Chains A and B, each alone.
Chain A
C-alpha cells in the first residue's frame, strides 16, 4: 500500500532527516538546504512517476487493500488519491523548490535546518490538505500548513516580520474558527464527518428533495465555510491581510504564500465544491460566482494605484485567485485541467518575479527603486519584462495560454460572459504589470549598486526562459495533462 503514498512519505522522511541533521550537526544551512532540495526532487520524481503510470486500474490495488482490511477503513479513508491531487502536488513541489533556492540566498548565513523543517512541513500540510477525505484530516493538515507559514513569515526576526506574522496568525486563526463552525453545522446537517458518506447523503437527498432543516443548516454552514476558505484564498472581501503580510514577510515567503499555499487552497476548493457539494449546486454556485467576479475586479483595481511592488504582487495574487475561482464555478473536466495548467504557469511566473524583486528591492519595495535596472542588469530587466507580460496574459508567453485555457473551459460550460469578464480584467491588469516594466527600463543616474546574488539571478532568468518556451510550445505540457487525465478516466 505504501507505493501509493511515496511523495508524502518522502517529504515526511525529509522533515525528519533535516531535523535530525540539525540535532546532530548543529546549524548547517547549506547542508540542510541541499538535503531538503534532494528530498523535494525525489518527491517530485515520485509524483511524476505516479502520474505517468496512472491508468483506470492504477488505484485498484488500494481498493483491494481497503476491502481486505475493513478494520483499518477509517485510517486509510482519511486520504483520497487521484490524478488532480497528484498534479497539484507536483505544482506545490515545484513552488517549494523555488522557495528553498530563493530563501537560501535570502538568509545566507542565517539559513538553518529549522527553516527547511518548516518549509517541508508546510508542503506536507498542503499535500495532505488537498487529499483530505474527512473534516478532521482537513482541519489538521490546514493547521500544519498554516502554522508552518506563520513561523516562516516571522523568520526574518525583525519588527516588520513579526508584525506581518502577527496579522497573518490572528486572521488565520479567525478563519479557521469560522471554518470549524461551518464544519460543525455541516455535521449537524448530514451526521457524518466522512466526505464519501456526506457525498452519498447529498446525492440521495438531491433525488428526493432536501428537507427544510437540512437546507437551513447547510446554508449556515456554507456561509461559515466560505468565510474560512475566503481568507485562505484571499478572495475579496476577505483579502485585507494579503498586502500587509506580503509587505512584512521575507520575499521568498511572500512568494510561497502566493503560490504554494494558494495552490493548496485552490485544490481544496475544487475538492469541496466540485467534489463534495457538486450535487447541491443551489447552495454554493451563486456565492462562488460573485466571490470570483468581485475578487477579480477589486484585486485588479486596487493594484492600479499601488506603488510598492510587493503589494502589487499581493493584489495580483488576489486577482489570480479570482480567475481560478471562476472555473471552480464553471466546473467540468476541462476546468480542472485549465486550473492545473494555470497554477503551474502562475507558480513559475510569480516566483520568477519575486526572484527579481529579491535582487532589486532589498528593504525598499517602492516601484521607483526599479529604475535603472535595464542600465545595470539588462538581462534581468528583460527577464522581468517577460514575466510581467506573461502575468498580464499577452501572447506569446505562457500566461496567455493559461488564461486562454481558463476562458476556454468557461465557454465550454456555457459561461461566455464570465470568459469576457476574465479578459476584461486581464486588460486592466496589463496596466500595472506593464508599469513595473516601464520603471525597470527608465534611466537612473544615481550610483546605486545591485547586490550580486547568483541564485535569484539564475532563478529569474530560468523562469523567464521557461515562461517563453511554455508559451511557444504549450502542447508540450498540455498534452501530458490531457494524456494523464485520459488515462485516469479511461477516455
Chain B
C-alpha cells in the first residue's frame, strides 16, 4: 500500500484537534461551573482588551523583552536540531557555547532584578 507522504500531516492535524477539543469537551461535560465577572473577562497576555487608553505596567515590557530573547534562542535551536547529526561534535560544542552565553545573560537579568515584579 502506498501512502501519500502528506497523510502523516493530516493524521497529526486530526489527532491534534481531537486531543485539544477532546480535553475541552471533557472538562465542559464533567467540570463544575462557577461563572463570575472576572472569570468571564477576555484575557490576553496581561492586557485587558477593549480599552484604548489602557496603561500597561512597565514591568510587563521588561518581562516581555526577556521572554523574547529566550524565545529566539529556541528558534535558533530548531535548525540546529535538524542538522545536528550531520554536523557532529562541532555543532554540539557550538550550541553549548551559545547556550552558555545566553545563560550568562539570564543570570545577569536575574541578578539585576529584571525578573522581579515590584
Contact = CB atoms under 8 A, between A and B. Distances in A.
A23 B87 contact: no
B69 to A, nearest CB: 12
B101 A69 contact: no
A69 B94 CA distance: 15
B77 to A, nearest CB: 15
Interface stretch (B1-9, B38-46, B102-110): B102-110
Name B's interface SS.
helix
Interface string B57-99: 0000000000000000000000000010011101100100000
A205 interface: no
B108 A23 contact: yes
B32 interface: no
Interface stretch (A14-22, A195-203, A209-217, A292-300): A14-22
A69 B83 CA distance: 14
A71 B86 contact: yes
A136 to B, nearest CB: 12
Interface string A1-45: 000000000001000100110110000000000000000000000
A22 B108 contact: yes
B110 to A, nearest CB: 8
Contacts of A69: 90
A206 interface: no
Contact of B108 (A12, A19, A71, A72): A19
Given A71-B86, A72-B90, A23 B101 contact: no
A23 B107 contact: yes
A435 B49 CA distance: 61
B104 A19 contact: yes
Contacts of A12: 101
A72 B104 contact: no
B50 to A, nearest CB: 31
A473 B94 CA distance: 46
Nearest to A113: B108
A57 to B, nearest CB: 24
B76 to A, nearest CB: 11
A19 B101 CA distance: 10
Name A's interface SS.
helix
Q: How large is the interface on A (under 10, 10 to 19, 20 to 34, 35 or more residues)?
A: 10 to 19
A69 B105 CA distance: 31
Contacts of B94: 75
B55 interface: no
Interface string A70-101: 01100100000000000000000000000000
Given A22-B108, A23-B107, A23-B111, A16 B101 contact: yes
B87 A72 contact: yes
A75 B84 CA distance: 13
A119 to B, nearest CB: 16
A295 B22 CA distance: 67
A71 B91 CA distance: 11
Contacts of B86: 71
Contacts of B87: 71-72, 75
A170 B70 CA distance: 25
Nearest to A20: B104
Nearest to A22: B108
Contact of A16 (B90, B91, B104): B104
Contacts of A20: 104
A12 B94 CA distance: 14
A424 to B, nearest CB: 50
Contacts of B91: 72, 75
Contacts of A19: 104-105, 108
A470 B83 CA distance: 52
A376 B64 CA distance: 53
Nearest to B88: A71
A128 B111 CA distance: 29
Nearest to B101: A16
Contacts of B107: 23
A71 B104 CA distance: 30
Nearest to B94: A75
Nearest to A17: B104
A16 B98 CA distance: 12
Nearest to B97: A12
A8 to B, nearest CB: 13
A31 B78 CA distance: 39
A75 B91 CA distance: 10
Contacts of A16: 100-101, 104
Contacts of B104: 16, 19-20, 23
Most chain A C-beta atoms within 10 Å of own C-beta, residue among B86, B87, B108, B111: B108
A210 B87 CA distance: 38
Contacts of B100: 16
Contacts of A72: 87, 90-91
Contacts of A71: 83, 86-88
B114 to A, nearest CB: 12
Q: Which 5 A-B pairs have the closest CB atoms?
A: A71-B86, A23-B111, A19-B104, A23-B107, A23-B108
Interface of B: 83, 86-88, 90-91, 94, 100-101, 104-105, 107-108, 111
7 contacts: A19-B104, A19-B108, A20-B104, A23-B108, A23-B111, A75-B91, A75-B94
Given A23-B108, A71-B88, 17 more contacts: A12-B101, A16-B100, A16-B104, A19-B104, A19-B105, A20-B104, A22-B108, A23-B104, A23-B107, A69-B90, A71-B83, A71-B86, A71-B87, A72-B90, A75-B87, A75-B91, A75-B94
